[in-house]
Structure 1
Amino acid sequence: MPAPTDHLAGTASAAAVAAAVAAATAAAGVLPSVNPLVAGDPQVGDLSVVATFGGAAVAGVSGGGRIGILVGADLVDALSSSPVAGLDLAAAVQPALDAAAASLGHRAEVALQLSPAEVVPDLGEPFTVVGLHGAGQAVAALVVPTALLAAATAPVAAPSGPSSLADVPRRGIELLHGVDMEVTVELGRTRMTVRDLLALAPGAVLELDRAAGSPADLLVNGRLIARGEVVVIDEDFGLRVTEIIDEKAAV
């Protein structure tokens, strides 16, 4: 297989190649990852390259066409099996698509999650793939229509990452590590009439539906994932986790 940069250079200008690297670098800068991500060499995209990944999110851009992010199968599996139901792949990589589109002088629309096999027909035109590598692994990749790059005039910049996506393990779970989630500890609940709610005043005592000493619930994005004991840490409340709730029990 020829070097990906040489392969692309036969059909694209140096400015287009540099624009692809710049867009991928912008995306890499906002993808949450344990290890810093760097852009590899751009290469001509086809189904054989896209199919090696586990999932994708694609968004339209203001200049016409669509761009996308490919991720490893383990990230897709983690999202589908997680008790956290409020985050999907498209939402997780939307900032990266926004950054890549802005680098090309456009604005990204709301992303949609697709399977890798759907990416090629969804784009509907020739495209370029730039791998995003972290710690020697192809964590993700940016896909951009070649026509969108053809109008770019970005200065030529040499890619700093691995030159090829071939034979590189696809990993993506790191993309979740920097995503902020809302974590709530719940002691109990009760139901009140509007009349009783309006009658609340300082000093009022509410009886909850849980006995004293019962474990508190730990919720992530409103989904129950664990229970534990309330503790005090340096004058602040904390929770010592005593039980992890499996997916079926959490429903």
Structure 2
Amino acid sequence: MNSPSSTAVAPDLGTAQLAERAARAAAALVPATTPLTVVAARDGDVPADAVAVVATLVGSPSADLVLVASDVLGDVTAAAGGTLTALDALRPALEAAGREVGAGVLEASRTEPAGAATGGAEVLALQDEGRTVAWFALRVRGQRTTPAPAAVPTQRGSMRMLYDVDMTLTAEIGRTTLPVRQVLDLTPGTVLELDRAAGAAADVMVNGRLIARGEVVVVDEAYGIRVTEIVYDEDAAR
């Protein structure tokens, strides 16, 4: 039998574990020169006058994802000649963190003062050989204690509130991986070899999650995708 104190603490423990998992995913894609490690921190540790890059995940749960990484972005943005912004540089890391938090739509990134963005959130430090060079924070919106089993809504009922939320679908014909220096050296005419054979089905993605496959078609002089397969979770994992 759970005591009243354990009922109150459980959501905090869950959020802390979720934040750490999301932070590790983000740390792997923050454009640092060496791999970053994740260490527990407090929101008061983040410099209040720093600039934070924030993206809101609209889903179940909904959450604000925050990265403060000015120290590691200086060299990258300078090498790009000012064409790469902090919003662009940190977007892949925020998308990776969002996938760890849950299914949903990650809204466009924005900048906010770090003090306001991280206040009251679960904060973790991203360190390079013991030196903190960036911060990650997660604030879950509308969090509440776990209801009794009889009060848990069905999946369809809980999703009804999202029916009118716009979701961006992306068609992907293939991927490749390049180091930053090769990305910065791209010029018109460069040919990138993708990891998929010609004529193979394209992937239909929502917030980085594979939901369907299909063939590329032309509809009124615009590209389209004719869905040939719906992908379920167990299929996407293969």
Q: What is the TM-score when the length of structure 1 is the normalising length? A: 0.47
Higher relative contact order (CA 8 A, sep 6+): 1
